[in-house]
Structure 1
Amino acid sequence: MKQAYQELYNELSGFISQERLIHDELRTLAYGTDASFYRLVPQLVVRVDSEQEVISVLKATAARQLPVTFRAAGTSLSGQAVTDSVLVQLSSNWRGYHIHDQGDSVSLQPGVIGGKANQLLAPYQRKIGPDPASINAAMIGGIAANNASGMCCGTAQNSYNTVEHMRVILADGTLLDTADEASRKAFEQSHAGLLAELKTLGEKTRDNQQLADLIRHKYRLKNTTGYSLNSLVDYSDPFDILKHLMIGSEGTLGFISEVTYRTVIEHPLKAAAMIFFPDMESTCRAVTAMKPTPVAAVELIDRAGLRAVEDKPGMPEILKTLGDNAAALLVDVRASEREELEQKLAQVTAAIGDIETVAPIGFTEDSATYDLYWKIRKGLFPAVGAVRMTGTTVIIEDVAFPIEQLAEGVLELQQVFRKYGYDEALLFGHALEGNLHFVFTQGFDDPEEITRYQQLMDDVANLVAVKYKGSLKAEHGTGRNMAPYVELEWGRDAYDLMWQLKALFDPDHLLNPDVILTRNPNLHLENLKPLPPADSLIDKCIECGFCESSCPSRNLSLTPRQRIVIWREINRLEDTADQGQGSQQEADRLKALVSEYDYQGIDTCAACGLCEMNCPVSINTGDLTRSLRHERNKGYSGAAKWVADHFETVANTSRTMLKVTDGMHTLVGSKNMSAITSMARKVSGNRVQQWTPSMPKASPKIDDILKRMPMSQPEKRLQGDVTETSLTEGRQGLTDDNRVVYLPSCATRIMGAARHQGEDRSTPEVTISLLNKAGFEVIFPGRLGDQCCGMPFQSKGQFAAADMKADQLNKALLAATDNGRYPVFCDTSPCLMQMREKLDSRLRLYEQVEFIYDFVLPRLTIVAKKDRIALHITCSTTKMGLADKFLALAKACADEVITPPDITCCGFAGDKGFSQPELNASALKDLPDAVAGCDEGYSNSRTCEIGLSEHSGIPYQSIIYLVDRLSTAKTA
């Protein structure tokens, strides 16, 4: 680090722990990357825990004149969250909230994800007003600082118009709480000059009729270009002006540490129609006609956009038959009552009844069709990203035209794209506000391409801002990308006023310099992000960051986006070195990145695949991790094959080791056992697996379970070379429909109950009991002790061994099920998901939750319900679409079911809880508080339950235990 930053680091380390002061090559690049197409690498990343730390950081940086940039989720598209100086990130401590007046308002800290805020408000049928497409990843700090809006938000419900109170920290470290009278009075004393200047600027602006009219016109549209000058027109109280100036200021005027929003109604009834028009002119006339009607959203999609998704699965056939000039409107109408909805639909339909459409207008309330319509709309951005050339980036910009000139503006915008050869560009957007997004691909590795981009943006700026008096940034924030065009859009007087405001709040220009306002006319063409080819598995990544909120390692090492960023950089540096063009500094940097990536990128990745569910272009970063493990572990392929060939022997050895470990635990006690194993792990360089008090005892063998169960002796039958064990429990004459092939996973066959679990039976014992109680005859596949789905090998990159085990299991299950005649029940969710991906499609494979809910529960009577339980929905359950069913099963057994909102994958990841226990600990850091008041927890993966028990303070076990304990067989 440079000397000034080293001095800053030394000062900050006096009150901020060193793990939150990041300055190494790998993490500064990873943490410094946002969703924009700009690349700046910070000298120092500071993860702050509290307002006091923010204040101290601002004072320390100001003393050295070092610029500071604030970062929330980093989903911003315009370069407002990157820096080559000090980057201040939010730690996981900024997720506080308080709901007021039965949901009428809500106070949110900046680290709360927008979608989580709406989950908290859902019981009150309320939500926050802003609804950006990134709401399930974007944090409140960024939503407010960018004045993000969205599809249904319009201008009436954005942050500017729904903010009630705010806690803000200014550049000099002063904290102001606008809701607190004492704080306001103190601020009046300490910052009388600032308040007086704001009051004066407001008066002068309102007295300047021409400027005031311009401001009112600009905010009649969606507009986030420049500062929120409407605050000077809309308010006279300087505190109100200050509060509203902070909205959309992108961290250039202060740090927002809490926002209180007035919430809006979340209507339970929703209907939508996809209406197709023959041309853009008629489409835009329909928009104008619907403007005064009670619609929730009107989304415009041009023909190029419709063409981009017409071949996607489930898309309506009409998309392929539309003419070249056609366009569509997705119209959404919402209400609280049935009669209200019908009245609104009648109004909307009548408003556009005289406008020609390609097909009859039909609104639907069917959830599948409704979701399909929105899938079309939301699939437009990734549709371009998925087909772009490797090495290019996807650029999405958003402009706003006066709605009465929308058609003309759209047509001319399309002409501009054609002029510069952006034939793939497509248009869509929030038509009621005249707000259009345009998406295109762009390469920045060729000077001619940069020139083409510059010419395009110059023409777009003149068309939108000058000719049509529209907004160059309707909702994505000015950032670095549009900063050079702010004066063009606003004119000299308004632009000078913005600089006055900047100087008033940040006289040294240290807060996010060059964002919103810049003196550099070429800023938008500098520090462009390289996107070199790295691996076909991840080359389509657009670095949006949507994946990050679901990643279990997000607070420990890297997120999926950050893993991709670093792997791209490693490949770029390697290519440079191969071409003989790299410097010694780059060679040293490459060596450092490769060395650090082993732990940061590979070892601490859970490879759970949840990232794929949130990814606009469906990238599973876990696939990259497994591929890299495969390359790294090629030397162990022989050992992996030996384990696969001798799997039953290895399983029996593991069972023996658990018995020995449990005996030692009994002898020395938990405290001494922890000390001994921790020392052994340390001495071995972490090669010895981590022991915890939640470690299970050995599970008895299946044959031993059958011998001691209260039923007839198991009957052995030989079919070909496959031995099956059938449990009848005296129920002769069961039909085929009552037979089920039960595959206990290798985890449940080896790992039994834990000491503190309160239940000595293993998962297979309980499963057999439950299935027989429900009248099912249980069949086991042949050579059960040797069976494995292959996941333990797959996760370590030993693909050949994984495929071999999957093939063996496939043959055994086909034999046991009579080629799919009987269903297969597996007691471990991740294994079942692996089986669905690898095994024969004739097999009817059921995860425990799915089979119990669909087939077992109807045959049982729940005789008692628990008051309150905790539930962990595993990542595999979520990926298979069984989360709702799991919750329904739990609710059948308990009056209150707690599903911690911030826990996604638990991070145990097969054996990562033993080999990298810090991953499991980090992922479950918030679990104890989330399950406070629960005495027991349930899940559907034996290994996950070990980590959940260890880090929650309550025992977790399979949901099978709960159903078995609370149920009796239903009588005829």
Structure 2
Amino acid sequence: MNAIEPLIAAGAIEQALARIREVVGEAGWLDAAQDIEPYLIESRGLYRGDTRLVVRPASTEEVAQVVSICADAGIKVIPQGGNTGLCGAGVPPEATPNIVLSMGRMKRVRNIDPDNFTLTVDAGCVLADIQEIAERHDRLFPLSLGAQGSCQIGGNLSTNAGGVQVLRYGNARELTLGVEVVLSDGRVLDSLRLLRKDNTGYDLKHLFIGAEGTLGIITAATLKLYPKPVGHSTAIFALPTLDAVIDLLSRARTMTADLLTAFEFMPRFGVEIAARHVEGVRDPLASPSPWYVLLEMSTSAHGTGLDSVMEALFSAAMEAGSVSDGVIATTEQQRQAFWKIREGVVEAQKGEGASLKYDVSVPVTSIPLFVTAAIDACRRISPEVRPLAFGHVGDGNVHFNLTAPVGDDGAFAATAATFDEIVFDLVAGMKGSISAEHGIGRTKKQALARYKSAVELDVMRRIKAALDPHMLFNPDKVLMPPGQASV
């Protein structure tokens, strides 16, 4: 390269950025340091990147034009929704010339058909707003997450988000009928279907759902709606063992005619720290127990007597020895208080110091073995470590977290690699997943390279090469570069 070539390249990039500004207009871009800072940092502060421009398009047409310009100029495109992800997928790289493509201005409701139980929205719509729109039409959109007040549906689909109602309704993939996607050459793939049956070849939407913005940019989606529940029954049960948790789940699914919406397990340590650090959280029962389950049934039919079903379940589980105590919510306030405990387990960890967080899944019946083995193995490395295993046991998703020993001086975080290997090896041995609902992003791409088979990685790379041959979209996420297939 001669001395003038870098200047030519820099000039081409500046020209491209100027063209992008023209496409999106004055309201569609940010470049002042104080304005772009929130777009550079991962939600937990683990990563900080840099960008030449934050671009905020208002339509699919603008996205397509911006992508075309970036493709011609060799500028990488980092799609970003609400930036609430937990694996760094929406954070730009530190040095590579890039733009952050923020979808927050794309909030249009394109179509709602209550009788067809469908809703079509732009990718920038906030999840809580989608829930509210569905409710106004006497319908339910069941995807429910802690970050639902700020996360966007495009990001939810890009990470195939899960949440607390997967047991009943499935994750984001199961809730999507079609997507609109801008491809790496600027073309728009329109598969916004209102159909539940369409057997015309490959179902292309599944390539982009869960791809974390590495294959295309989701600009809109058609979502499934459900009848709005009119009745709930919510309870917290105390259990003596983890094996009892699995027995209760099996019994609950059988006795409740699959009206079970959520089934969340928590250890005593989780309830204790929630009560200690989260205002309004109280111990739910008079006597402590090693394990707790928060379970909820719901129905859209009137007069079904869900509480009587819950009472029958409670009685049968007590008789079988699976449950030692419990309480069924009698008011909406009490129901919300139960859920505050579960949500408080997550929030309270900050007050306990540093922690390592593993979002994994194993077959449901393997959960007791996994949790017990993982706790034992981690305590052999650090006897004072404080394990915190909780989560959506109904779908096999365990949030296996490790809280630093009391009095940690900062050394605990440096041991992450050792614990990663322990936890992920156990998960792999049980044919589980190292990422149940948070994705891969930057955080787990080395682990993915280690635990995915060579054939799976090869197929993934071939798909990436076919849809994004110039590595335009999120180039430093999910897949390790060729030749770096393992850690």
TM-score with structure 1 length normalisation? 0.45
Task: Give 1:329's aligned residue.
Answer: 293
Task: Give 1:404's aligned residue.
Answer: 365
Give the secondary-structure state (helix, strand or coil) at the position aligned to 1:54: helix
Equivalents in 2 of 1:495, 1:122: separation in Å?
41
Aligned-partner residue type, residue 46 of structure 1: V
Call closer, same or farther: CA 1:129–1:490 in 2, change over 3 Å. Answer: farther
Q: How does 1:437-586 map to 2 (within 5 A)?
A: 437-440=399-402, 451-464=414-427, 466-519=428-481
Answer yes or no: is the 8 Å Cα contact 1:67–1:511 preserved in 2. yes
Answer yes or no: is the 8 Å Cα contact 1:276–1:359 preserved in 2. yes
Q: How does 1:135-146 map to 2 (within 5 A)?
A: 135-146=148-159
Give the secondary-structure state (helix, strand or coil) at the position aligned to 2:304: helix
Q: How does 1:435-834 map to 2 (within 5 A)?
A: 435-440=397-402, 451-464=414-427, 466-519=428-481
Task: Give 1:249's aligned residue.
Answer: 211
Give deviations 1:731-754, integer Å, cap 9, x for gaps.
xxxxxxxxxxxxxxxxxxxxxxxx
Equivalents in 2 of 1:90, 1:153: separation in Å?
26
Higher RCO (C-alpha 8 Å, min separation 6):
2
Task: Give 2:5's aligned residue.
Answer: none
Aligned-partner residue type, residue 255 of structure 1: I
Aligned-partner residue type, residue 333 of structure 1: M
Equivalents in 2 of 1:310, 1:301: separation in Å?
13
Give deviations 1:845-865, integer Å, cap 9, x for gaps.
xxxxxxxxxxxxxxxxxxxxx
Q: How does 1:221-370 map to 2 (within 5 A)?
A: 237-240=200-203, 242-292=204-254, 293=256, 294=258, 295-311=260-276, 314-317=280-283, 321-322=287-288, 326-335=290-299, 336-339=301-304, 341-342=306-307, 344-345=309-310, 348-349=313-314, 352-356=317-321, 359-370=324-335
Aligned-partner residue type, residue 369 of structure 2: E
Task: Give 2:3's aligned residue.
Answer: none
Task: Report deviation, 1:127.
Answer: 1.7
Task: Give 1:580's aligned residue.
Answer: none
Instruction: Indicate yes or no: 2:66 matched with 1:57.
Output: yes
Answer yes or no: is the 8 Å Cα contact 1:35–1:76 preserved in 2. yes
Give deviations 1:316-355, integer Å, cap 9, x for gaps.
45668425xx110001111232225256436644663444
Call closer, same or farther: CA 1:310–1:22 in 2, change over 3 Å. Answer: closer
Out of 326, 329, 348, the position equivalent to 1:383 is: 348
Give the secondary-structure state (helix, strand or coil) at the position aligned to 2:246: helix
Give deviations 1:747-776, integer Å, cap 9, x for gaps.
xxxxxxxxxxxxxxxxxxxxxxxxxxxxxx
Q: Which stretch has the larger CA shift, 171-180 or 372-381?
A: 171-180
Call closer, same or farther: CA 1:511–1:524 in 2, change over 3 Å. Answer: farther
Answer yes or no: is the 8 Å Cα contact 1:273–1:330 preserved in 2. yes
Task: Report deviation, 1:31.
Answer: 2.0
Give deviations 1:804-863, integer Å, cap 9, x for gaps.
xxxxxxxxxxxxxxxxxxxxxxxxxxxxxxxxxxxxxxxxxxxxxxxxxxxxxxxxxxxx
Aligned-partner residue type, residue 35 of structure 1: S
Task: Report deviation, 1:309.
Answer: 2.1
Give the secondary-structure state (helix, strand or coil) at the position aligned to 2:417: helix
Call closer, same or farther: CA 1:513–1:161 in 2, change over 3 Å. Answer: same
Task: Give 1:231's aligned residue.
Answer: none
Task: Give 1:28's aligned residue.
Answer: 36
Task: Report deviation, 1:511.
Answer: 0.7
Answer yes or no: is the 8 Å Cα contact 2:42–2:84 preserved in 1. yes
Task: Report deviation, 1:64.
Answer: 2.1
Equivalents in 1 of 2:177, 2:37: separation in Å?
37
- Extract unaligned runs of 5+ from structure 2: 1-8
Task: Report deviation, 1:460.
Answer: 1.2
Equivalents in 1 of 2:239, 2:21: separation in Å?
62
Q: Which has the higher helix share?
A: 1
Equivalents in 2 of 1:235, 1:346: separation in Å?
42
Equivalents in 2 of 1:78, 1:319: separation in Å?
36
Give the secondary-structure state (helix, strand or coil) at the position aligned to 2:390: strand
Equivalents in 1 of 2:90, 2:83: separation in Å?
6
Out of 91, 104, 110, the position equivalent to 2:117 is: 104
Give deviations 1:110-153, integer Å, cap 9, x for gaps.
11111111111113332223222222221111111111121112
Call closer, same or farther: CA 1:521–1:363 in 2, change over 3 Å. Answer: farther
Call closer, same or farther: CA 1:343–1:5 in 2, change over 3 Å. Answer: farther
Call closer, same or farther: CA 1:374–1:59 in 2, change over 3 Å. Answer: same
Equivalents in 2 of 1:406, 1:365: separation in Å?
31
Task: Give 2:25's aligned residue.
Answer: 17
Out of 167, 177, 184, the position equivalent to 1:164 is: 177
Give the secondary-structure state (helix, strand or coil) at the position aligned to 2:170: coil
Call closer, same or farther: CA 1:510–1:330 in 2, change over 3 Å. Answer: same
Call closer, same or farther: CA 1:267–1:155 in 2, change over 3 Å. Answer: closer
Call closer, same or farther: CA 1:442–1:360 in 2, change over 3 Å. Answer: closer
TM-score with structure 2 length normalisation? 0.86
Answer yes or no: is the 8 Å Cα contact 1:103–1:124 preserved in 2. no
Aligned-partner residue type, residue 25 of structure 1: A
Give the secondary-structure state (helix, strand or coil) at the position aligned to 2:189: strand
Instruction: Indicate yes or no: 2:393 matched with 1:431.
Output: yes
Answer yes or no: is the 8 Å Cα contact 2:363–2:432 preserved in 1. yes
Give deviations 1:891-929, integer Å, cap 9, x for gaps.
xxxxxxxxxxxxxxxxxxxxxxxxxxxxxxxxxxxxxxx
Call closer, same or farther: CA 1:497–1:522 in 2, change over 3 Å. Answer: closer
Call closer, same or farther: CA 1:5–1:29 in 2, change over 3 Å. Answer: farther
Call closer, same or farther: CA 1:308–1:47 in 2, change over 3 Å. Answer: same
Task: Give 2:375's aligned residue.
Answer: 414
Give deviations 1:271-294, integer Å, cap 9, x for gaps.
111101123232333234334442
Out of 139, 149, 157, the position equivalent to 2:162 is: 149
Equivalents in 1 of 2:114, 2:457: separation in Å?
41
Aligned-partner residue type, residue 54 of structure 1: V
Equivalents in 1 of 2:193, 2:390: separation in Å?
43
Out of 177, 185, 205, the position equivalent to 2:190 is: 177
Give the secondary-structure state (helix, strand or coil) at the position aligned to 1:154: helix
Call closer, same or farther: CA 1:339–1:329 in 2, change over 3 Å. Answer: same
Over the matched positions of the two proteins, sequence identity in percent amounts to: 23
Call closer, same or farther: CA 1:438–1:2 in 2, change over 3 Å. Answer: farther
- Extract unaligned runs of 5+ from structure 1: 182-233, 526-972
Equivalents in 1 of 2:413, 2:311: separation in Å?
50
Call closer, same or farther: CA 1:317–1:442 in 2, change over 3 Å. Answer: closer
Equivalents in 2 of 1:347, 1:259: separation in Å?
41
Give deviations 1:497-531, integer Å, cap 9, x for gaps.
11111111111111111322113999999xxxxxx
Task: Report deviation, 1:398.
Answer: 1.3
Call closer, same or farther: CA 1:23–1:357 in 2, change over 3 Å. Answer: same
Equivalents in 2 of 1:86, 1:395: separation in Å?
31
Give deviations 1:559-617, integer Å, cap 9, x for gaps.
xxxxxxxxxxxxxxxxxxxxxxxxxxxxxxxxxxxxxxxxxxxxxxxxxxxxxxxxxxx
Call closer, same or farther: CA 1:62–1:108 in 2, change over 3 Å. Answer: same
Aligned-partner residue type, residue 322 of structure 1: P
